[in-house]
Amino acid sequence: MKYYVTVPIYYVNAAPHIGHFYTTMVADALKRFKTMHGYDVVLTTGSDENSVNVERAAAARGMSPGDYSAIIAEEFQRTWRDTGLGVDRFFRTSDPRHHATVQWLFQRCQENGHIHKGSYTGQYCFSCNLYVNDAKAGDPCPDCGRPTETVTEENYFFKLSAFQDKLLALYDEQPDFMQPEIRRNEVRSFVKEGLKDLSITRSNLTWGIPVPVEGKHIFYVWFDALVTYLTAVRDENLWPADLHLIGKEIIRFHAIYWPAFLMAAGLPLPKRIFAHGWLLFENDKMSKSRGNIVRATPIQQVIGIDALRYFLLREVPFGADGSFSYDALVGRYNADLANGLGNLVSRTLSMIHQYRGGAVPSSQNDAGAEVAAKAQEVLATFSAAFEAFEFSRALESVWSLLGVVDKFIVKQAPWTLVKKTDEASQQTLDTTLYTAAEVVRLATVLLAPVLPESARKIWAQLGMNAPLESVRIDQLAWGQLAAGQKTLTPEPVFPRIDAKIAIPKMIELESVEKARQDALLGKAKKEEEAPSNIAPLEPVITIDDFGKVDLRVGRVLTAEKVKGSDKLLHLTVDIAEPQPRTIVAGIAEDYQPEPLIGRKVVIVANLQPRKLRGITSQGMIVAASLPDGPAFLAGFLEDAPIGARLK
RNA sequence: GCCGGUGUAGCUCAGGUGGUUAGAGCGACGGUCUCAUAAUCCGUAGGUCGUAGGUUCGACUCCUACCGCCGGCACCA
């Protein structure tokens, strides 16, 4: 039985961080879980290298796109190696085999009549690789806020519009195709609104995969990147994938474009797509500009990679956004891993050593029956939850078992039994120790996919001979632990962590790691200090060009929210004309209307009027912003006269 | 604005088809055992179950409106 799971190929615009780790680690845990059910699992990922952005970033560092990408691709692979993630194939989009697959897929679509040529003039965001509909020259990209650039191209189009009904049928007939359900609904309603044909080539780049035969056009990044899922296993009869694991930001590409491409080429569709949420840092979005990005390896160095794996799978309900914080991480570690699992292993093995010479006794009576029943129940609960991607619930069920055993041990009080010489007490002591050890064994197997390193240690301490990885979870049952087995002297698997020491250490190592990655990317020190999402400078203009822009000092007379819009404010502004100007400004998320009244602002006074939500905006208000940040209105420290022109 | 989700103890969350004193884990506090990693175990902590109405013999659980938060779409020229 095969199981093919993918995580995205990661874009080489950034070095790996905890978000990349999250997706990949979940895939790794699933892989281990499936392997322990007898599946041959293949996990693939790679690097997404073909884009103008990469070309530009490489050029800025005086490198070729290939060399630049290679450095980052290696950095990703190194991270997966260091953190023990079982990635089977790492595919670079620059790989010639991949080029062949993309071209092959294109030709199949073409043969089936789903490709046509057309021309396009519009605004394009090079940062996001996204065409922006209805935008004008220089308008900001709706996703990243950087200015869009005008492009006119003759391109190949994919007839996406022809797949609307088929896609809707897919979502309805195969509810598991897109999960969680929330995401499926979003995708469905998006498709229902209507699909436009998709331009799948570009003619303005050189770094990428050329269209077959003619060779002038380069494939659009998503026609390229998604196809690595095919390329990675092309000769292995593994397609279709059993699971695409993705982050919620790339749902549209996976749940709409990708199945449409495959349908057009007459290929089987992936069985399921699961989109997880984002990891926030203490409830804030992680971003370069906030400087709150966390990496996996510094955490690994201080408390081990298993602690991070456990935290992410236990603390965050899979699918929803989750919050990472060092406090919560250490809290989980101490409460669940050190005090819970680690301590149970420790006390169990220690008693077996002191009371029974380090050999697991056999169960003599039914003193442990309730624990056994609970364990059987947890075996079922755990696997069902894990299959359903409810990792948090799965882990919770194991800990509920650990809690039962801890209570059981106290109730039986082996330390009292050992002092009694009667047969019954000795039998109960044996049974108690066996019961505890059997729970440790079962829990260790169940937890192996989540805590691979630690489980292996516990397994060894228990004296188990068979390799843990080869144990079949679906064949686990109570009572399989062999009596007489020799255990090792326990050593703490999860030593308690002092948050006061560990957290500063992690933070310190984090900054070391960041510096190392920055150096790797050839970032200069000065550049590093500036927020890296500052919009790139526009091309040089002449003084005459600037002279065309008529900026005026104005005073806000009235301000109110525009009905039906989250972002628009309806302002009237006095710029010393007979009539005040009506201006619609997209600042409602950052400014309340009332406090604006009376405020002096800067207006672009000669902008072509435009209707917004039924109101004609006669100009534009000047504000500063970072791509994902709030707007700041321009103003004056002195009392600038209304109507004065800015030059 | 439209669509969807959500709002339960300090924190993270459970609470099919309405019905005795609303639950768990963590944290906090008190106590205990001593096998154990100052761990375990026991007990306590008493939260208007977002707000206001409504249906009902009875609602956290159903309905309506409103508020807050999250997401998608629209939109941010």
Chain B positions with an atom below 7 A of a protein C-beta are 1, 3-5, 12-14, 25-27, 33-42, 70-77
**Residue A627: CB less than 7 A from any atom in strand B:** no
* A409: pLDDT strictly greater than 70: yes
CB burial of residue A95 (10 Å; 0-12, 13-18, 19+): middle
Could you tell me the distance in Å between the CA of residue A87 and the C1' of nucleotide B24? 37
Cα dihedral value A467, A468, A470, A475, nearest 10: 130
Backbone angles phi, psi at A303, to 5 degrees: -125, 10
Q: Of A219-228, A286-295, A359-368, A552-561, which range is least confident?
A: A286-295
- Tens-place pLDDT, residues A95-120: 999 999 999 999 999 999 999 988 76
Confidence bin at A524 (pLDDT 50/70/90): very low
Q: Which of A64, A75, A63 is nearest to A12 (CA)?
A: A75
Q: What is the pLDDT of residue A526?
A: 39
CA distance A122 to A381: 53
Q: Of A32-36, A481-485, A541-545, which range is least confident?
A: A541-545
**Residue A429: CB less than 7 A from any atom in strand B:** no
**Residue A212: CB less than 7 A from any atom in strand B:** no
Q: Which of A66, A96, A72, A55 is nearest to A210 (CA)?
A: A96
Distances (CA, A) of A7 to A47, A228, A280, A295, A472: 11, 11, 20, 18, 25
- Tens-place pLDDT, residues A312-339: 999 888 888 888 889 999 999 999 999 9
Backbone angles phi, psi at A245, to 5 degrees: -100, 125
pLDDT top residue among A418 and A221? A418
pLDDT top residue among A278 and A372? A372
Q: What is the pLDDT of residue A133?
A: 57
Confidence bin at A615 (pLDDT 50/70/90): confident
CA distance A119 to A117: 7
Q: Which of A328, A327, A448, A473 is nearest to A84 (CA)?
A: A448
Q: Of A35-39, A258-262, A269-273, A643-647, which range is least confident?
A: A643-647
Specify the long-range contacts of residues A607-612, CB closer than 8 Å, at least 24 apart.
A612/A562, A612/A568, A612/A584
Q: What is the pLDDT of residue A134?
A: 55
Nearest nucleotide over every DNA/RNA strand to the A136 CA, judged by C1':
B77
**Residue A196: CB less than 7 A from any atom in strand B:** no
Mean pLDDT along residues A627-640: 77
**Residue A559: CB less than 7 A from any atom in strand B:** no
**Residue A338: CB less than 7 A from any atom in strand B:** yes
Q: What is the pLDDT of residue A534?
A: 56
CB < 7 A to strand B: residues 220-279, chain A: 248, 252
Could you tell me the distance in Å between the CA of residue A185 and the C1' of nucleotide B5? 11
Nearest nucleotide over every DNA/RNA strand to the A490 CA, judged by C1':
B36
* A527: pLDDT strictly greater than 50: no
**Residue A189: CB less than 7 A from any atom in strand B:** yes
Nearest nucleotide over every DNA/RNA strand to the A497 CA, judged by C1':
B37
Mean pLDDT of the residues in chain A: 87
Could you tell me the distance in Å between the CA of residue A635 and the C1' of nucleotide B59? 55
CB < 7 A to strand B: residues 353-372, chain A: 354
CA distance A303 to A494: 9
Q: Which of A105, A161, A495, A67 is nearest to A302 (CA)?
A: A495
Q: What is the pLDDT of residue A520?
A: 81
Angle at A221 between CA A76 and CA A239, to 5 degrees: 75
Nearest nucleotide over every DNA/RNA strand to the A616 CA, judged by C1':
B77
Q: Which of A137, A131, A189 is nearest to A157 (CA)?
A: A131
- Tens-place pLDDT, residues A64-91: 888 999 999 999 999 999 999 999 999 9
CA distance A477 to A379: 8
**Residue A616: CB less than 7 A from any atom in strand B:** no
Give the distance between the most distant pair of CA atoms in chain A.
107
* A478: pLDDT strictly greater than 70: yes
- Tens-place pLDDT, residues A164-177: 999 999 998 888 89
Sheet strands side by side (includes A130-132): A130-132, A115-125, A149-158, A198-199
Nearest nucleotide over every DNA/RNA strand to the A392 CA, judged by C1':
B13
pLDDT top residue among A249 and A150? A249
**Residue A584: CB less than 7 A from any atom in strand B:** yes
**Residue A607: CB less than 7 A from any atom in strand B:** yes
CA distance A468 to A459: 7
Neighbours of A448 (CB within 10 A): 24
> Which residue type, as a one-letter code, is found at position A315?
E
Please state whether beta strands A600-604 and A620-621 pair in parallel, antiparallel, or not at all (unpaired).
antiparallel
> Which residue type, as a one-letter code, is found at position A98?
H
Please state whether beta strands A279-281 and A322-324 pair in parallel, antiparallel, or not at all (unpaired).
parallel
Which residue minimizes Cα–C1' distance to B1?
A: A564
- Residue A407, Ramachandran bin (φ over 0: left; ψ between -120 and 50: alpha; else beta): alpha
pLDDT top residue among A566 and A367? A367
**Residue A342: CB less than 7 A from any atom in strand B:** yes
Query: Does residue A29 contact residue A449 with C-beta atoms inside 8 Å?
Result: yes
Q: What is the pLDDT of residue A146?
A: 62
Nearest nucleotide over every DNA/RNA strand to the A283 CA, judged by C1':
B70
Query: Does residue A368 contact residue A432 with C-beta atoms inside 8 Å?
Result: yes
- Tens-place pLDDT, residues A116-147: 988 766 666 666 566 665 555 666 655 555 66
Mean pLDDT along residues A202-221: 83
Neighbours of A230 (CB within 10 A): 21
CA distance A634 to A645: 14
Q: Which tokens sit at A602?
A: 């800067």
Confidence bin at A537 (pLDDT 50/70/90): low
Q: What is the pLDDT of residue A566?
A: 75
Q: What is the pLDDT of residue A129?
A: 61
Please state whether beta strands A610-612 and A569-574 pair in parallel, antiparallel, or not at all (unpaired).
unpaired
Q: What is the pLDDT of residue A12?
A: 86
Q: What pTM did the predictor assign?
A: 0.85
**Residue A567: CB less than 7 A from any atom in strand B:** yes
Query: Does residue A208 contact residue A224 with C-beta atoms inside 8 Å?
Result: yes
Confidence bin at A340 (pLDDT 50/70/90): very high
